Amino acid sequence: MTMDKQMQEELKRLFETKLNRAMRMYLETCTHCGNCVEACHVWKSMPETRYTPVGRSEIIRKVFLKYFKLEGKIAPWLGEVIELDDIALDRFYDAAYSCTGCRRCMVYCPFGIDTQMIMSIAKLLLIGADKEPKLLSMLADMSIAKGQDVESSQSGFEEAVKNLEPEVEALWKTAPGRKTIPVGTENADVLFVGLSGKDSIVPAAAILNAAGENWTLSSFEAVNFGAFMGDLERTKKIASRIIAEAERLKVKEVAIVECGTAYRVMKQQTGKHPFEVVSFVELIARYLREGRIKLDRTFKPRLTYHDPCQMGRNGGIYEDPRFIISNFVRYFIELTPNREMNWCCGGGGGLVAMGEPEFRMKSGRVKAEQVKASGAEVICTACENCRTQLTDLSEHYELGIKVESLTDLVAHALVK
Amino acid sequence: MLTDKLILFIAAAGDAVSKATGVAESTAAVGAAVSADAVSSATVANAPVTGLAQIFGRIEYFIMVPMVYLALLFCLAAIVLHIAAIFKAPAQPYSLRIYPAAKRPGLAAAIDAFGMPQIRRRKPVFWVFLMIFHISFLLLILGHLDILPQISLVPEASRDMLGAGLVGVFVTVPLFYFLFRRFRSPNREITVPADYLLLILLLFLCLFGDLMSWGNSWTANGFVMTKQDFAQYFGGLLSFSFADPRLVLHGSHYHFVVIHVLLAEVFFIVLPFSKVVHAFLTLPINMLRRK
């Protein structure tokens, strides 16, 4: 299928905007050694070449060869170059949205090639061709719109938050004279950024109150749909809402709810700020170390922990969750493999937000097998995407394992 | 200046070859008295110089002298431009590190680049061949430099190159492995024609090299061409004398030397556009995931 010449030129221009130093190295260094193949949970569950990290990257690499390299022009057959057309874009979609951006392949690659970054080219070109997943762009645009018109949604937000207070009080009685869920408090030490659902706010509020923290709740949700789309502009706009709020309230720290992508975007991809960015898991671990909260060590079921890719392999948070677990769990079992080698759950990269139940369940087979082999009765994690995917996997594969949020378990284990 | 000299010598190559053939004749005649191997070269030298032989002589001279300079110059310039284009591009605005974070990122990247632990853990056989290949390839470069009398890692009087032919074999055997593993799934599906051709080019380049450095010693009367002969050829190249290599490289094996040099030149020309650039990028690319 031939593409409109003007569109092709526009897509080539977009492609070129992504060719920074790292990307050029990633596109020019792969020797097709094949070591990355077995790293991908999708390939492990569905062994097709298109589901290998190198298979995905090759589609981009072959377009790069055709339009940006001399050898692609002189001897296109040598690299089997690909013309930028509608068929190529369909392959881009298949590659980009079958990759969760877990970056497990980076651990396997002898050069450390970042497939997630290469896939950001595919995602950008899909946006350019108006072929991106519409649900993601709609959600991203809604987030941006919310940031542009805070005042109109603020009163409704505060009222909704007020309704959550009894649930927070049930978990932990707030000290007299303090607000159960403070909103818009200036000079707070911590700005907690939750998700739109109450499940992310209630347990966190209980923990923050138990620690006697001077905190305030963000008016925005942490999740960044722009990052799932690989759209740097939207990603920045969505993150800038929280940054502006934190600066306006003059907070010392921004604590990101259990959401791996939101944490990584805020921590690593938005530059330097006058405040620190921490994951809520790090904050809980700090409260425990400082003796600001105590947990009841009576949790009896065999529990295992799933390292979310964006928090572990891509964020460096491995030990804090384990330290927290050691404070309230009697029988802890490690998944095999774990930490940087842990299998991706298969829900990242926007797949959970997009739905895609059939693909997620098929590609999550290896994860389901790993969880089953652990013999655990409960699996907890620190990422909402992972929690949703693990819950779906547990149901689909009849694993008989309960899936919990780490924050939620901590909130229910709080003692004086 | 050098270019003028080069053009002049290319034009004069025909004369040089004709004269060199004459010299080779007498040299071969002397050689025949001391070595049975020289019989073959003498046979060649005594054969009437037809038009075709003259054309081949000119082609061989071009391959053995001017094209060496051209290929090396092209290779160096293209690599510099290629690497410069990459490093001129804007840097990544945020870290691409993976965790756990290395305490010494530079050291970790160097271990990744030169030790390939990612492959050792998962494909130990492949890793063994990769290590043998890369170490031997470096020794091979060293062995070629050692031909120059100024370096002399192997005693100047030695008839052997560094490793006495073994280094070449250690490069060749892994190349067979690298090529044949590409025929197996899933590697077959991710391989493009350029991968096969590069391996085949390297394989033939090394096989002809083996023929000279190792196979050369299989003849009943010992070496046809020795390290000293190659030293004279290299010396001629280094001094830009544009002398005909036939004056110093005797015997019928000369044609194999020409093929070896031609394949090396093709390798130098395609190197900047091939996956071999990973040799120059492996350290900086590994730094991205460590820093």
**Interface contact A24-B118, CB threshold 8 A:** no
Residues A403 and A380: beta-carbon distance below 8 Å: yes
Give the model confidence (pLDDT) of A5-53 as tens digits. Answer: 999 999 999 999 999 999 999 999 999 999 999 999 999 999 999 999 9
| Length of chain B, in residues | 291
Residue B35 has what pLDDT? 42
**Interface contact B186-A80, CB threshold 8 A:** no
Q: In the structure encoding, which two tokens stand for residue B251, read together? A: 């015997």
Residue B70's φ and ψ, nearest 5 degrees, are -65, -45
Distance from CA of B147 to the nearest CA of A (A): 31
Over residues A63-69, mean pLDDT: 97
Residues A225 and A140: beta-carbon distance below 8 Å: yes
Residue B221 has what pLDDT? 67
Residue A239's nearest CA partner among A260, A220, A257 is A220
Is A52 part of the contact surface with chain B (CB cutoff 8 Å)? yes
**Chain A contacts of B190, Cβ < 8 Å?**
32, 34, 37, 49, 52, 54-55, 58
Across the interface, of A29, A117, A313, the residue whose CB is closest to B281 is: A29
Confidence of residue A149 (pLDDT cuts 50, 70, 90): confident
Across the interface, of A103, A106, A268, the residue whose CB is closest to B94 is: A268
Residue B11 has what pLDDT? 45
Is A265 part of the contact surface with chain B (CB cutoff 8 Å)? no
Over residues A269-274, mean pLDDT: 93
Residue A84 has what pLDDT? 95
Give the model confidence (pLDDT) of A188-238 as tens digits. Answer: 999 999 998 888 999 999 999 999 999 999 999 999 999 999 888 999 999
The residue of chain A with its CA nearest to that of B187 is A34
Q: Which of A262-266, B66-70, B209-213 has the lowest mean pLDDT?
A: B209-213
- State whether residue A95 is helix, strand or coil: helix
Q: Is the model's pLDDT at B14 over the cut of 70?
A: no
Which residues have a Cβ under 8 Å from the Cβ of B31 and sit 6 or more positions away?
Answer: B37, B38, B41, B42, B250, B251
Residue B213 has what pLDDT? 81
Q: Is the model's pLDDT at A61 over the cut of 90?
A: yes
- pTM, entire model: 0.90
**Interface contact A112-B112, CB threshold 8 A:** yes
C-alpha distance across the termini of chain A, in Å: 68
Upstream peptide bond of A166 is cis (omega within 30 degrees of 0): no
Residue A181 has what pLDDT? 96
C-alpha distance across the termini of chain B, in Å: 46
**Interchain CB contacts (distance < 8 Å): A and B:** 134
Is A17 part of the contact surface with chain B (CB cutoff 8 Å)? no
The ipTM, to two decimals, is 0.92
Residue B53 has what pLDDT? 86
Alpha-carbon distances of A94 from A132, A169, B188, rounded to whole Å = 11, 47, 21
Find where tokens 């067979």 sit.
B176
Across the interface, of B92, B101, B191, the residue whose CB is closest to A20 is: B92
- β-pairing, A276-279 vs A215-217, is unpaired
DSSP letter for B185, please.
Answer: T
Distance from CA of A147 to the nearest CA of B (A): 24
Q: How far apart are CA B173 and CA A216, in angstroms?
A: 66
Across the interface, of B98, B122, B195, the residue whose CB is closest to A35 is: B122
Largest CA-CA distance found in chain A, in angstroms, rounded = 77
Is A87 part of the contact surface with chain B (CB cutoff 8 Å)? no
**Interface contact B118-A28, CB threshold 8 A:** no
Q: In the structure encoding, which two tokens stand for residue B137, read together? A: 């390839």
**Interface contact A113-B112, CB threshold 8 A:** no
Mean residue pLDDT of chain B comes to 84
Q: In the structure encoding, which two tokens stand for residue B151, read together? A: 């370096």
The residue of chain A with its CA nearest to that of B86 is A21
Across the interface, of A55, A71, A112, the residue whose CB is closest to B289 is: A112
Q: Please give the distance of CA A208 from its chain centroid, rounded to a whole number.
A: 23
Over residues A276-290, mean pLDDT: 98
b/e per residue A113-152 (b: at least 16 CB within 10 A): bbbbbbbbbbbbbbbbbeebbeebbebbeebbebbeeeee
Confidence of residue B23 (pLDDT cuts 50, 70, 90): very low
Confidence of residue B222 (pLDDT cuts 50, 70, 90): low
- State whether residue A173 is helix, strand or coil: coil
**Chain B contacts of A113, Cβ < 8 Å?**
285
Give the model confidence (pLDDT) of B169-217 as tens digits. Answer: 999 999 999 999 999 999 999 999 999 999 999 999 999 999 888 777 7
Q: How far apart are CA B87 and CA B253, in angstroms?
A: 44
Which long-range contacts link B61-64 to residues 24+ away (Cβ below 8 Å)? B61/B13, B61/B16, B61/B17, B61/B20, B61/B244, B61/B245, B61/B246, B62/B10, B62/B13, B63/B258, B63/B261, B63/B262, B63/B265, B64/B233, B64/B244, B64/B245, B64/B257, B64/B258, B64/B261
Residues B126 and B181: beta-carbon distance below 8 Å: yes
Residue B113's nearest CA partner among B267, B271, B289 is B289
**Percent above pLDDT 70 for chain A:** 100
